[in-house]
């Protein structure tokens, strides 16, 4: 990057490329040091929101692409908030489930060339001296304290964002806004606190019927509040929607129990004599009762620093920038909501990201320009879809509007096209926005079909297409084009081809911000893979053309019961280690027959085959079920005695169970005889099935517990034990929001609330960890179990082989929302069927080890050698470590170490 000509090279500085983050803060106090050969350009970013995050990431990425770059950049981000930069677009998730919204990888902030100063506020800019004054957040402006510092910069980027606007009406100071993580954390807590204090749901009035207001009201309603919306315009989202669309939306919102008051502004916040909020008085004199008032009426750019520093400010606020993102002051840039381009500040993430990329490019000597504002929006609020894009209001001369409206269904869809009805100009969708993601990239282009073909009346199947031109932006948040996505799928530039959606999202960043383009990205992936012959083949293996879920349904409908029948009907060859265990699992889920009988034994995967987990030396580990992690001292003693008697290595598992290692195949029946006699049953640690339901002690013992977590965990573990699925799955039950059972890292997480249980789904640890997401709140026991029944069965029926719940939900069209529709709203009408299937499993469950021990024919499968059934495998050699046995390592087998075999100490090469 060419350093700007005026950069003072003689300035004493400590900033080599490896300068410590802390050194940035102390620059003014450091004495002269020898001039390093190359000094990093010091970029200071004021503000720590998404725009700052994107700029930092973009600058870093450019440096990493070229590690030997002669002109390194050192970035300091000064952020008022104490959080790492987070995804403001996803605040509604935070409101419902306290999700972590941190943007990107936290690793970005630990490198030597980046310093994040959170909890710090820039209080002044001197564009001539090129310094900024930094104080801890909360320090009064202008008040110099010991903690005040002066930072020098070479380039300054203003990314200060906006304030949520509060109207100047009496009582407004008692109200709240919906802008930051702290705001939504407060609102979540406050709704709960008010409900407890008042003994009824809190009445919340949200002022503002735009995107944010709707999100806030919808979220608060879900948290149990009774929400209403006050909108001064004639209909909701009047900035994005026309009257027809706004009214359709109003009906859908009202259907969720949210009252909408349109046409009047609030005049005053009425307080009770004790000074707490009691209501909102509207301009027409009507009073709405309220315990909590939230303003979501818009945002005001935080241009005060720039104003004080003498930068040019737009008439309607915001720092004036050109297409190059430069402000009126040299070496000062502005990006994001604070930047005013053509007299407008935009509160959307896509333009903010685009501006960040422009500045990153310019700081590296490029000449990128801001491409213009894409103000397409899509909102999803508990099933209500709203989207608008392009010239949604048909302002283009002679443009035509093609509208389909079905008021009864709350459906409104409109496309705006040129007068020849061929070129797409914009669109608006309420109720069903499924055409949005594939149409939005086509703005300004000729539509492949008649406009009407894209609307719900026509079935809307014409819409989604994997054949977009390369230059079309698929993901507008991150400005990723169809060409970029295709290149990643093909594996351009020597990188490995991305052949699954998760990988593709990671490497292109498409779909990682608002997620609305994910269906389109998925479509592109499938189209490309099909083209290149990698075939999105959902085929299980060379023997079955069908996918696991297709096979599952076929077997279910035809009521097939054996691998031979299934293979004869749908497959070829003899099967393999992929399809045989899959079929075994499908049969086990559907029929609950003993898994090793009638030829099914030969289908089972390694662990299922022995009803134990094979370890590296061919011995097994044994895990008895300990439901919920609760165990009596007597039973604990039995485990200890068994472990001691059979010389088993003993370790506590992560799932609150005990794993006994080193059991030989022929010892398993003897070990289980002891365990079953003592009342234990198989823990199914060997199955792709329910593992454990981890719990905390809950209200039984804990001072903070609000529900009986242990009883619930035991009930759930006993209900779903032995249920076989595409992959293993785990549960957690926590007795309060402190979440000591780490339930949100489980496939199904149950967390107690004052009112019942919240259920979270799709979490897992493992290679790609995922947090479970909120499916439903405040359920009673019965509804909780019903939802889990449906969720698990739906997963088992539709999941791919070895696909965990998190990936399954990611790959499902509609993701979590779709799952919620199926599980909670029964949108497919299969809820009863799913529950029936689960009931059949529960009724037919039997302990596999007790069933094995009861039948000599079954025990036969556990002999070590067909001709010497009880002779131990002579090759197994163990050594003692920390007083327990473990398999000998190859070097120990070779060397003079004290070894012990199972009974005959034999050494084999």
Interface with another protein by CB under 8 A: which residues? 542-543, 573-577, 580-581, 599, 601-603, 605-606, 609-610, 614, 616-618, 860-861, 863-869, 871, 873-876, 890
Query: Please, which residue, 238 or 871, has the CB nearer to another protein?
Result: 871
Query: Please, which residue, 213 or 575, has the CB nearer to another protein?
Result: 575
Cβ atoms of 99 and 401 closer than 8 Å: no
Alpha carbons 720 and 691: distance in angstroms, whole number? 9
* Segment (H or E) for 521: helix 518-531
| E-assigned strand segments in 159-306 | 162-164, 176-177, 203-207, 226-231, 259-262, 266-271, 277-282, 287-289, 292-295, 299-301
Q: At its nearest, how many Å lie between another protein and the CB of residue 572?
A: 9
Cβ atoms of 543 and 524 closer than 8 Å: no
Residue 867 per-residue DSSP state: S
Alpha carbons 853 and 673: distance in angstroms, whole number? 7
Query: Please, which residue, 578 or 702, has the CB nearer to another protein?
Result: 578
Alpha carbons 599 and 768: distance in angstroms, whole number? 36
**Per residue in 777-815, is it b (16+ CB within 10 Å) or e — as a string?**
bbbeeeebbbbbbbbbbbbbbbbbbebbbbbbbbbbebb
Q: At its nearest, how many Å lie between another protein and the CB of residue 799?
A: 21
Query: Please, which residue, 138 or 890, has the CB nearer to another protein?
Result: 890
Q: Which residues are registered as beta bridge partners of 757?
A: 752, 779
Q: At its nearest, how many Å lie between another protein and the CB of residue 908?
A: 9
Rg (CA), the chain: 31
Cβ atoms of 818 and 812 closer than 8 Å: yes
Alpha carbons 158 and 626: distance in angstroms, whole number? 57
Query: Please, which residue, 257 or 573, has the CB nearer to another protein?
Result: 573
Query: Please, which residue, 100 or 593, has the CB nearer to another protein?
Result: 593
Query: Please, which residue, 80 or 873, has the CB nearer to another protein?
Result: 873
Cβ atoms of 156 and 319 closer than 8 Å: no
Query: Please, which residue, 193 or 860, has the CB nearer to another protein?
Result: 860
Nearest partner of 254 among 209, 313, 296, judged by Cα = 209
Alpha carbons 286 and 264: distance in angstroms, whole number? 10
Query: Please, which residue, 83 or 863, has the CB nearer to another protein?
Result: 863
Q: At its nearest, how many Å lie between another protein and the CB of residue 890?
A: 8
Alpha carbons 666 and 71: distance in angstroms, whole number? 68
Q: At its nearest, how many Å lie between another protein and the CB of residue 115?
A: 45
Distance, first Cα to last Cα, the chain: 61
Query: Please, which residue, 532 or 870, has the CB nearer to another protein?
Result: 870
Q: To 5 degrees, how large is the angle CA 743–CA 746–CA 747?
A: 130
Q: At its nearest, how many Å lie between another protein and the CB of residue 9?
A: 58
Burial bucket for residue 477 (CB in 10 Å: 0-12, 13-18, 19+)? buried
Alpha carbons 712 and 741: distance in angstroms, whole number? 13
Alpha carbons 390 and 3: distance in angstroms, whole number? 39
Q: At its nearest, how many Å lie between another protein and the CB of residue 611?
A: 12
Q: At its nearest, how many Å lie between another protein and the CB of residue 620?
A: 10
Query: Please, which residue, 414 or 801, has the CB nearer to another protein?
Result: 801
Alpha carbons 704 and 741: distance in angstroms, whole number? 13
Neighbours of 29 (CB within 10 A): 9
Distances in Å between the Cα of 180 and the Cα atoms of 81, 122, 216, 349, 355 are: 9, 18, 12, 15, 22
**Per residue in 531-552, is it b (16+ CB within 10 Å) or e — as a string?**
eeeeeeeeebbebbebbbbbbb
Query: Please, which residue, 443 or 611, has the CB nearer to another protein?
Result: 611
Q: At its nearest, how many Å lie between another protein and the CB of residue 871?
A: 6
Query: Please, which residue, 649 or 757, has the CB nearer to another protein?
Result: 649
Residue 704 per-residue DSSP state: S
Q: At its nearest, how many Å lie between another protein and the CB of residue 746?
A: 27
Q: At its nearest, how many Å lie between another protein and the CB of residue 602?
A: 4
CA–chain centroid gap for 661, Å, is 36
Q: At its nearest, how many Å lie between another protein and the CB of residue 577?
A: 4
Alpha carbons 46 and 137: distance in angstroms, whole number? 13
Query: Please, which residue, 29 or 891, has the CB nearer to another protein?
Result: 891
Q: At its nearest, how many Å lie between another protein and the CB of residue 670?
A: 16
**Per residue in 639-661, is it b (16+ CB within 10 Å) or e — as a string?**
beebbeebebbbeebebbbbbbb
Q: To 5 degrees, how large is the angle CA 807–CA 808–CA 813?
A: 110
Q: At its nearest, how many Å lie between another protein and the CB of residue 861?
A: 7
Query: Please, which residue, 661 or 787, has the CB nearer to another protein?
Result: 661
Tokens of 13: 């500085």
Query: Please, which residue, 115 or 603, has the CB nearer to another protein?
Result: 603
Q: At its nearest, how many Å lie between another protein and the CB of residue 623?
A: 18
Neighbours of 904 (CB within 10 A): 9
Residue 580 per-residue DSSP state: H
Q: At its nearest, how many Å lie between another protein and the CB of residue 530?
A: 24
Nearest partner of 482 among 516, 530, 442, judged by Cα = 442
Query: Please, which residue, 581 or 629, has the CB nearer to another protein?
Result: 581
Q: At its nearest, how many Å lie between another protein and the CB of residue 849?
A: 18
The length of the chain in residues reads 909
């Amino acid at each position: 990057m060419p350093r700007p000509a005026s950069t003072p090279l003689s300035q004493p500085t400590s900033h080599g490329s490896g300068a410590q983050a802390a050194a940035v803060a102390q620059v003014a106090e450091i004495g002269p040091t020898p001039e390093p050969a190359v000094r990093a350009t010091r970029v200071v970013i004021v503000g720590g929101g998404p725009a700052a995050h994107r700029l930092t990431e973009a600058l870093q990425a450019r440096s990493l692409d070229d590690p030997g770059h002669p002109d390194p950049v050192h970035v300091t981000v000064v952020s008022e908030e104490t959080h790492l930069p987070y995804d403001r677009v996803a605040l509604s998730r935070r409101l419902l489930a306290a999700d972590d919204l941190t943007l990107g990888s936290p690793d970005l902030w630990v490198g030597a060339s980046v310093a994040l100063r959170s909890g710090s506020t820039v209080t002044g800019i001197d564009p001539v001296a090129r310094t900024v004054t930094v104080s801890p957040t909360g320090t009064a402006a202008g008040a110099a304290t010991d903690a005040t510092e002066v930072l020098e910069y070479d380039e300054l980027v203003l990314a200060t964002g906006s304030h949520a606007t509060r109207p100047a009406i009496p009582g407004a100071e008692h109200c709240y806004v919906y802008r930051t993580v702290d705001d939504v954390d407060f609102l979540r807590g406050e709704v709960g606190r008010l409900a407890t204090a008042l003994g009824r749901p809190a009445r919340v009035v949200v002022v503002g019927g735009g995107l944010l207001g709707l999100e806030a009201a919808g979220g608060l309603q879900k948290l149990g509040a009774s929400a209403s919306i006050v909108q001064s315009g004639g209909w909701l989202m009047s900035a994005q929607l026309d009257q027809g669309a706004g009214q359709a939306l109003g009906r859908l919102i009202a259907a969720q129990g949210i009252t909408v008051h349109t046409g009047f502004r609030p005049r005053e916040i009425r307080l009770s004599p004790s000074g707490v909020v009691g209501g909102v008085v509207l301009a027409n004199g009507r009073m709405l009762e309220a315990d909590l008032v939230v303003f979501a009426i818009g945002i005001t750019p935080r241009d005060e620093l720039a104003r004080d520093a003498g930068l040019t400010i737009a008439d309607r606020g915001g720092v004036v920038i050109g297409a190059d993102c430069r402000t009126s002051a040299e070496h000062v840039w502005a990006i994001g909501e604070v930047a005013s381009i053509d007299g407008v500040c935009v509160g959307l993430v896509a333009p903010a990201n685009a501006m960040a990329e422009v500045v990153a490019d310019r700081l590296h000597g490029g000449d990128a320009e801001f491409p213009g504002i894409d103000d397409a929006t899509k909102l999803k609020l508990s099933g209500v879809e709203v989207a608008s894009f392009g010239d949604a209001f048909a302002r283009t001369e002679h443009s035509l509007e093609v509208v389909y409206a079905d008021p009864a269904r709350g459906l409104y869809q409109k496309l705006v096209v040129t007068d020849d009805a061929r070129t797409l100009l914009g669109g608006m969708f309420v109720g069903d926005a499924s055409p949005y993601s594939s149409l939005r990239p086509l703005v300004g282009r000729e539509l492949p079909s008649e406009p009407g073909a894209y609307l719900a009346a026509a079935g809307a199947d014409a819409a989604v297409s994997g054949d977009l031109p390369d230059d079309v932006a698929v993901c507008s948040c991150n400005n990723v084009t169809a060409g970029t996505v295709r290149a990643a799928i093909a594996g351009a530039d020597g990188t490995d081809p991305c052949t699954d959606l998760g990988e593709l999202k990671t490497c292109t960043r498409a779909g990682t911000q608002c997620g609305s383009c994910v269906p389109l990205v998925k479509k592109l992936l499938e189209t490309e893979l099909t083209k290149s012959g990698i075939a999105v083949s959902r085929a299980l293996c060379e023997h079955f053309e069908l996918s696991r879920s297709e096979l599952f349904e076929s077997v279910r409908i035809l009521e097939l019961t054996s691998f031979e029948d299934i293979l004869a009907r749908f497959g070829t060859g003899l099967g393999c280690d992929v399809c045989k265990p899959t079929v075994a699992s499908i049969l086990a889920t559907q029929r609950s027959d003993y898994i090793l009988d009638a030829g099914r034994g030969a289908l089972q995967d390694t662990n299922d085959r022995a009803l134990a987990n094979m370890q590296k030396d061919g011995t097994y580990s044994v895990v008895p079920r300990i439901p919920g992690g609760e165990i009596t001292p007597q039973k604990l003693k039995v485990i200890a005695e068994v472990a001691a008697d059979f010389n088993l290595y003993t370790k506590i598992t992560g799932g609150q169970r005990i794993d006994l290692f080193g059991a030989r195949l022929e010892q398993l029946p003897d070990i289980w005889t002891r365990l079953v006699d003592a009342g234990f049953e198989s823990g199914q640690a060997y199955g792709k099935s329910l593992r454990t339901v981890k719990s905390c002690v809950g209200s039984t013992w804990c001072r903070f517990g609000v529900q009986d977590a242990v009883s619930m965990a035991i009930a759930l573990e006993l209900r779903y034990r032995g249920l076989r699925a595409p992959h293993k799955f785990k549960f957690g039950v926590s007795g309060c929001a402190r979440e000591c059972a780490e339930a949100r890292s489980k496939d199904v997480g149950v967390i107690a609330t004052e009112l019942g249980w919240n259920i979270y789904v799709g979490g897992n640890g493992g290679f790609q960890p995922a947090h479970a997401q909120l499916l439903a709140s405040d359920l009673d026991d019965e509804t909780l179990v019903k939802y889990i029944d449906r969720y698990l069965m739906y997963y088992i029926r539709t999941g791919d082989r070895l696909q965990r719940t998190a990936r399954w939900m990611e790959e499902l069209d509609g993701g979590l929302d779709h799952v919620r529709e199926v599980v909670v709203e029964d949108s497919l009408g299969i809820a009863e069927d799913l529950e029936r299937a689960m009931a059949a499993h529960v009724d037919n469950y039997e302990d596999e080890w007790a069933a094995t021990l009861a039948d000599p024919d079954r025990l036969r499968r556990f002999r070590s050698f067909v001709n010497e059934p009880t002779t131990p495998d002579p090759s197994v050699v163990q050594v003692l470590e920390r007083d327990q046995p473990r398999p000998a390592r190859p070097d120990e087998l070779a060397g003079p170490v004290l070894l012990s075999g199972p009974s005959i100490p034999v050494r084999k090469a």
